[in-house]
Amino acid sequence: MLELLKPINLGPISVKNRIVMAAMTRSRADRNGVVGEMTARYYAQRAGAGLIISEAINISEQAIGSPHTPGLYTAEQVEAWKKVTASVHAKGGVIFAQLWHTGRVGHSVDRKGELPVAPSAIAIPQGQHHTSRGVQPYETPRALSVPEIKSIVRDYAQAARNALEAGFDGVELHGANGYLPNQFLAESANQRTDEYGGSVENRSRFILEVIDELIAVAGHERVGVKLSPLHCYAGIALADPVSTFTYLIGEINKRNLLFVELKRRSPLYPAPVHYPTQDEISLFGSLSQVTVIANSGYNRETAGQELDRGIARMVSFGTPFISNPDLPERFALNALLAPSDQKTWYVGGEKGYTDYSFLEPVKEVTGQII
């Protein structure tokens, strides 16, 4: 049997295969951050994955970075997510909520005129942000006070409570891709001189405080974290990424989380010359004493090779799941994958969301399989 298709115990959760549907922003929520019936259909269609990690979900109004992204901080939002989790569970699936605070990766256009917040008042140096009024230059964020940081930590805890109420099987902290926890880790975004800046221990304090709160709410066997140690999206650069993430993963080991999902760097965002060239799974996954989920850029063959190395126990897939809702079945049959229409990735509606086809079922006629 293909290694990807073998069942596995993920802590207290038995999953049917080692294929994870990675979190992907799809921008189908309404203006109040509420998901609808088509979101329930979208996730139910993909419940063949061993584990679904939801699209990133804003933990508070302050956390919002992009338009039409969902939330988990109002009663209406929680009720809407209940329909999603119920639809996944009805198909025998497992789904975790990815908890999100975008920090400086946002724009006041979609924040009721409020500037984004960050560890320090440092703008993302290049690129533009997608907003409800088209692309806009990145703004200089407002630096958070210590009391505000403590309040955000509490917001994560409340979002975890809301996720469990909504029926999610657990939560994943989005600590990757240049968002707020990643900003605290990186000197390019964090030049604080208080207990949240400077040393690796201080720069790691925020993400570890959040993890501790999530564990207090959900238990360590219902909490995972996504990290992108060498991915330089949104102006993220660390003076010494190896020592920073070696320390952080050591602390995660002490907390015995359910899993750590490691995203590999993208060639679209070249790393500084001082960054290591070794791949993230070898360099950091080998340090992990909790389950490693390898993420980003894998196909059927390379995912199998990754599992054969023995560091990662599961592999998460993003883009292939958009246009192949039955991705595990296609992998089992080594069937062709359907391409996705990138123009519909972040555009509201059913098109490019729930209208992708499934494989035709195999029929048996006169004793022969055709």
Token readout for 119 is 């560890």
Taking the C-alpha atoms of residue 214 and residue 257, their distance in angstroms, rounded to an integer, is 10
Question: Quick check: 88 pLDDT over 90?
Answer: yes
| Mean pLDDT confidence for 284-291 | 98
Backbone torsion region of residue 293, taken as left when φ is above 0, otherwise alpha when ψ lies between -120 and 50, otherwise beta:
beta
> Which residue is it, tokens 């699209």?
55
* The pLDDT value given to residue 365: 41
* The pLDDT value given to residue 8: 96
pLDDT bin (cut points 50, 70, 90) of residue 268 is: confident
Q: Cα separations (Å) of 313 from 102, 287, 358?
A: 28, 14, 27
* The pLDDT value given to residue 364: 44
**Mean of per-residue pLDDT scores for the chain:** 95
Backbone torsion region of residue 235, taken as left when φ is above 0, otherwise alpha when ψ lies between -120 and 50, otherwise beta:
left
- Contact predicate 329/48, CB 8 Å: yes
* The pLDDT value given to residue 362: 54
* The pLDDT value given to residue 366: 42
pLDDT bin (cut points 50, 70, 90) of residue 360 is: confident
Question: Quick check: 324 pLDDT over 60?
Answer: yes
* The pLDDT value given to residue 145: 98
Of 10-24, 34-48, 93-107, 266-280, which gets the smallest average pLDDT?
Answer: 266-280
* The pLDDT value given to residue 368: 44
| Mean pLDDT confidence for 129-137 | 92
Q: Comparing 267 with 28, which gets the higher pLDDT?
A: 28
* The pLDDT value given to residue 336: 96
DSSP state letters, 67-130: TT--BSSSHHHHHHHHHHHHHHHHTT--EEEEEE--TTSS-GGGTTTPPPEESSS---SS-EEE
* The pLDDT value given to residue 126: 87
CB-neighbour burial class of residue 364 (10 A; exposed 0-12, middle 13-18, buried 19+) = exposed
Token readout for 349 is 């509606």
Token readout for 134 is 């088209």
Taking the C-alpha atoms of residue 86 and residue 166, their distance in angstroms, rounded to an integer, is 9
CATH topology of domain 3-369: TIM Barrel (3.20.20)
Give me the percent of the chain exceeding a pLDDT of 70.
97
- In the chain, what are the domain boundaries? 3-369
Token readout for 178 is 């240049």
Question: Quick check: 370 pLDDT over 90?
Answer: no
What's the pLDDT tens digit per position in 214-256? 999 999 999 999 999 999 999 999 999 999 999 999 999 999 9
Q: Cα separations (Å) of 204 from 80, 136, 181, 284?
A: 34, 30, 8, 16
Q: Which of 349-355's residues contact partners 24+ apart within 8 Å by CB, and which partners?
A: 349/28, 350/38, 352/322, 353/26, 353/28, 353/38, 353/42, 354/38, 354/41, 354/42, 354/45
Question: Quick check: 52 pLDDT over 70?
Answer: yes
Question: Quick check: 349 pLDDT over 80?
Answer: yes
Taking the C-alpha atoms of residue 77 and residue 72, their distance in angstroms, rounded to an integer, is 6
Query: How many CA atoms lie within 13 Å of 137's alpha carbon, on the beta-carbon side?
Result: 5
Just list the catalytic residues.
Answer: 179
- pTM equals 0.96
Question: Quick check: 100 pLDDT over 80?
Answer: yes
* The pLDDT value given to residue 369: 42
| Mean pLDDT confidence for 308-334 | 98
